[in-house]
Amino acid sequence: MKCISCEQWSFSIICKTCQDTLLTPTLNKRQLCDDFFVYSFYSYEELQDLINTKYEFFGDKVFNILAQLSFAQFANEFKYDEKVISIPVDDHTNHDFSQSAILARHTKSSHIKPVYSTLKATSRVKYAGRNLEFRQKNPRRFKYSGKNDLSVILVDDLVTTGLTLLEAKKHLKKHGCQTLFALTLCDAKF
């Protein structure tokens, strides 16, 4: 097969050379509100074509590579006084996989335990390409079915305005969960 990044022949959907040179993560921190930060590994411009593979049947392979290069490394270095859970934001499946669930799976470590299918959006509206006003008028309306009173890391593929992450944090707070921060693959404002 050919590498989807450089189009050279490869045994992987993204060749080792592209993984080593083009996909080197740089942790970026953005403040969404007074006490809430989102950490991202790449700018959206860097990964735009790769992020958009979430709409393709082979996107799970791409997201597994990206998660291994970024989320897994982060998880191995993360330390906290108590066990933390990572929750993928609305991990429903698209094209037979969930990109947020793939990313969360790679947070598994001695300090982080991924928990799936607990934070679901009841609104199926698509935000891609929509402006802030549209996003504000069409909230996700989350439903949480997990345990209460936990320390949480929210996981998503992309942060643009931050409204989805803020809404998720607010909803988890109603269940006594403390959201420590959010972790995303890309930041549109990076």
DSSP element (H, E) containing 99: helix 99-105
Report residue 128's pLDDT band, with 50, 70 and 90 as the boundaries: confident
Supply φ then ψ for residue 151, to 5 degrees.
-95, 130
More confident site: 31 or 137: 31
pLDDT score, position 84 = 97
Q: What is the pTM of this model?
A: 0.91
What Cα–Cα distance (Å) separates residue 52 from each residue in 42, 63, 111, 113, 121? 14, 10, 31, 27, 21
Give residue-wise pLDDT tens across range 62-119.
Answer: 999 999 999 999 999 999 999 999 999 988 776 679 999 999 999 999 999 999 999 9
Give the pLDDT of residue 95: 64
Spatial separation of the C-alpha atoms in residues 26 and 93, rounded to whole Å:
28
The mean pLDDT value for 37-61 works out to: 93
44 vs 175: CA distance, rounded Å: 32
Contacting residues for 81 by C-beta, under 8 A, at least 6 apart: none
First to last CA, the chain: 32
pLDDT band, very low/low/confident/very high, at 132 (cuts 50, 70, 90): confident
DSSP H stretches of helix in 35-82 = 44-51, 59-69, 71-77
- Structure confidence at residue 129 as a pLDDT band (50, 70, 90): confident
For strands 119-121 and 142-144, give the pairing: antiparallel
